[in-house]
Amino acid sequence: MIDFRSDTVTKPTQAMREFMVKAEVGDDVFNEDPTVNELQRRVARMLNKDAALFVTSGTQANQVSVQAHTQPGEEVICDYHAHVFNYEAGAAGMLAGVQLHPLLGHYGHPSLEQISEVVRPADDHYPRTRLICLENTHNRAGGTIFPLEEIKRISAFAKAKGLKMHLDGARLWNASIATGISLAEYAQYFDSVSLCFSKGLGAPLGSIITGTQEFIQRAHYYRKAYGGGTRQVGIVAAACLYALDHNITRLQEDHLHARMLAEALGGCVGFKLDKNAIQTNIIITEVTNSEFTADKVVQMLKEKGILALTVGNSKIRFVTHMDVDRAKIDQAIKIITSLFG
């Protein structure tokens, strides 16, 4: 099967597995796992932050960060289609006791004007606005890249208002490769940044949070409270270190493959996609043929050896990644054009 459902389906390579086996380990709860400590130091340096904290997932990274920045009863501004609002099981309200205020941003990116409009006044009738969460790249918008100039504007506004900024940078690696903007350049405008190793970088699991030493100390407390304290986790951290050395620059291949696949889909009958949104490795296409639902198209593709994911009633998502090479892309395009061309 050619699996386009997500870049989370990637499997560690044999070389990555061998690197994991050789990892030096210790007890991370006692801060004694040398491989985890090296990963944290290295990512902190890459983003020019004081410290970093390894966590099990992107959801845990975001939720630990939200709680470390806020108090119960406060409000967090985010995009309506953001991962933190849609795909984290309501954890912001359940765990941190905060209210999310979603905005419908362009390509998943709320503007400064939208954000400034909803910051709460100093009135005890309202929750206190405390945190702005942005997402880059934006999953549900199709892997779109948040414009750096707009990030700068929002960051300056947040500082003036005394608000904190968190970046869900699960796929920030993709944004950096696509734009040439360094991770540190993006990160300087945020109080905390989370990144994921188990998507385009191909590690079996793991995310990381970066920020000030004080913030990471608070995040460490909430990681423990959420059951995220681990022991000899250097075996997994080793996979993440391997990914940093071998799998970042190759993301440009995934971006090229996404453009190739999008071009083929755009030429097929019954599909509509916004080519301006094809910026990294995610494609979202709308099924416009009244004879087919998105579920029906996904089933037809599955019967021909292609896996994709429905997004709502009429849209399908394809995600390119390291386990789908050029030969598989060519094969997928041939199958899709034979069915719908």
For the chain (341 residues), the mean pLDDT of every run of 10, in chain order, is: 96 97 94 96 98 97 98 98 96 97 97 98 95 97 97 98 98 98 98 98 97 98 93 96 98 98 92 94 92 91 96 93 97 94 75
Question: Whole-angstrom Cα distance, residue 53 to residue 315?
Answer: 36
The predicted model scores a pTM of 0.96
The closest alpha carbon to 41, from 180, 210, 234, belongs to: 210
1 found inside a domain: no
| Sheet strands (E) in the chain | 2-3, 51-55, 75-79, 99-103, 129-135, 164-169, 192-196, 207-211, 271-272, 282-287, 306-307, 309-311, 315-319
Question: Does a structural domain hold residue 4?
Answer: no
What lies within 8 Å, CB to CB, of 59 at 6+ separation is 83, 87, 88, 89, 91
Q: Of the residues 205, 231, 246, which one is the last residue of a structural domain?
A: 246
Q: What is the CATH number of the domain that holds 193?
A: 3.40.640.10
Looking at the fold, whether 228 and 129 belong to one and the same domain comes out as yes
290 in the same domain as 309: yes
pLDDT at 290: 78
Q: Quote the CA–CA distance of 196 and 207 in Å, as a whole number.
A: 4
CB distance 270 to 289 below 8 Å:
yes
Query: Which of 201, 218, 246 is at the close of a domain?
Result: 246
Dist CA 64 CA 84 (whole Å): 11
> What residues make up the domain containing 334?
250-340
239-13-136 Cα angle (round to 5): 60
Looking at the domain assignment, is residue 7 inside a domain?
no
Q: What is the pLDDT of residue 332?
A: 97
Does some domain include residue 161?
yes
Q: What angle do CA 277, 101, 88 make, to 5 degrees?
A: 70
Give a yes or no: residue 2 inside a domain. Answer: no
* pLDDT value, residue 341: 75
In a domain, 6, yes or no: no
Query: Where would I find the H helices in 22-166?
Result: 34-46, 58-69, 83-86, 91, 112-118, 148-161
122 and 194 in a common domain: yes
Residues 27, 172 within the same domain: yes
Burial class (CB in 10 A: 0-12, 13-18, 19+), 323: middle
Q: Which of 142, 165, 140 is nearest to 152 (CA)?
A: 165
- Is residue 197 domain-shared with residue 228, that is, in the same domain? yes
Nearest-Å Rg of the Cα atoms of the chain is 20
Whether residues 235 and 311 share a domain: the answer is no
Asked whether residue 333 is domain-assigned, the answer is: yes
Residues 130 and 264 in one domain: no
| Domain total of the chain | 2
Q: Based on the fold, state whether residues 50 and 89 are members of the same structural domain.
A: yes
What contacts 40, CB < 8 A, 6 or more positions away? 51, 52, 53, 54, 208
Where is 265: in which H helix or E strand?
Answer: helix 251-266
Task: Read off the CATH number of the domain in which 266 is found.
Answer: 3.90.1150.10
**The predicted structure's pLDDT at residue 312:** 80
Question: Does some domain include residue 302?
Answer: yes
Query: What is the per-residue pLDDT for 76?
Result: 98
Give dist(CA 185, CA 182) in Å, integer: 5
Judgement on whether residues 160 and 207 belong to the same structural domain of the protein: yes
In a shared domain, residues 57 and 45: yes
* Separation of alpha carbons 294 and 335, rounded Å: 17
Neighbours of 249 (CB within 10 A): 9
pLDDT value, residue 162:
97
Among the candidates 219, 246, 273, a domain finishes at 246
185 and 317 belong to one structural domain: no
By three-state DSSP, how is residue 134 classified?
strand
Question: Domain check: are 241 and 255 in the same one?
Answer: no
